[in-house]
């Protein structure tokens, strides 16, 4: 368990303040959009159930076909309100991914967690919570801020992501820590890449991600 913990109310407040402009403001800073779009195009078909973790205003899943059942979770009530407006047919919950999801949400064929694990304090715990609601054979796309030596800000376990404005920590995980967390939840990696994630204008640096697509299987 990571001894560092963010003030969840502080994280929610930070995103509440930018909810109305987040989708438009964050898009030019993101390198990961093509990967998200490719994953959804390859894995989401009619009748599928999709869980959007850290959904924000819902811009990744709002345009999915109406015969796809979308459930979104986010720590920020303002982001959840924005997501409901962007896809009224979806189901949206204020929820902290560090805690298990309610059993009534059921199982999902596809899970998406793009960018939100920047604030993940315990990767094994969180991936376990996702695995618990991923159907057998289901696919899970996620990103982690990857800890590597030789890159600015990337050799520490965590950094102050807001330059002291709210004392919100962003967490970094090595490839091996991520792989171990997946193994603990019986999730099988299908693809992995290390590439640019987004431009952090506060720190004036590029955050690099590990991009993972994994599959849940109850069979050895």
Whole-number pLDDT of residue 42: 97
Per-residue pLDDT of 74-118, as tens digits, reads 988 989 999 999 999 999 999 999 999 999 999 999 999 998 998
d(CA 82, CA 22): 10
The answer to whether domain 8-216 has CATH 1.10.10.10 is no
Q: Give every residue of the chain whose pLDDT is below 50, as ranges.
A: 1, 3, 19, 21-22, 25, 28
Give the rounded distance of the alpha carbon of 32 from its chain centre. 12
- DSSP, collapsed to helix, strand or coil, labels residue 149 as coil
* Cβ atoms of residues 125 and 100 within 8 Å: no
* Cβ atoms of residues 40 and 64 within 8 Å: yes
Q: Count Cβ atoms within 10 A of the Cβ of residue 94 and give its class: 0-12 exposed, 13-18 middle, 19 or more buried.
A: middle
Cα dihedral 153, 159, 163, 167 in deg (nearest 10): 180
Domain ranges for the chain, please list them. Answer: 8-216
């Amino acid at each position: 368990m990571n001894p560092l913990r963010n003030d969840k109310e502080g994280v929610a407040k930070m995103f509440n303040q930018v909810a109305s402009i987040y989708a438009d403001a964050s898009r030019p800073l993101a390198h990961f959009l093509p990967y998200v779009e490719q994953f959804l195009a390859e894995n989401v078909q009619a009748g599928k159930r999709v869980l959007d973790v850290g959904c924000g205003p819902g811009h990744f899943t709002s345009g999915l076909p109406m015969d796809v059942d979308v459930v979104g979770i986010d720590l920020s009530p303002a982001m959840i309100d924005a997501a409901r407006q962007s896809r009224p047919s979806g189901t949206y919950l204020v929820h902290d991914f560090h805690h298990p999801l309610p059993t009534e949400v059921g199982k999902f064929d596809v899970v998406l967690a793009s960018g939100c694990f920047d604030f993940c304090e315990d990767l094994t715990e969180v991936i376990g919570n996702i695995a618990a609601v991923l159907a057998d054979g289901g696919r899970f796309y996620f990103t982690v801020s990857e800890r590597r030596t030789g890159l600015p800000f990337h050799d520490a376990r965590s950094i102050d992501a807001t330059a002291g404005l709210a004392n919100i920590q962003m967490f970094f995980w090595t490839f091996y820590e991520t792989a171990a967390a997946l193994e603990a939840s019986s999730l099988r990696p299908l693809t992995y890449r290390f590439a640019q994630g987004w431009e952090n204008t506060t720190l004036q640096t590029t955050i690099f991600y590990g991009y993972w697509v994994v599959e849940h299987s109850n069979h050895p």
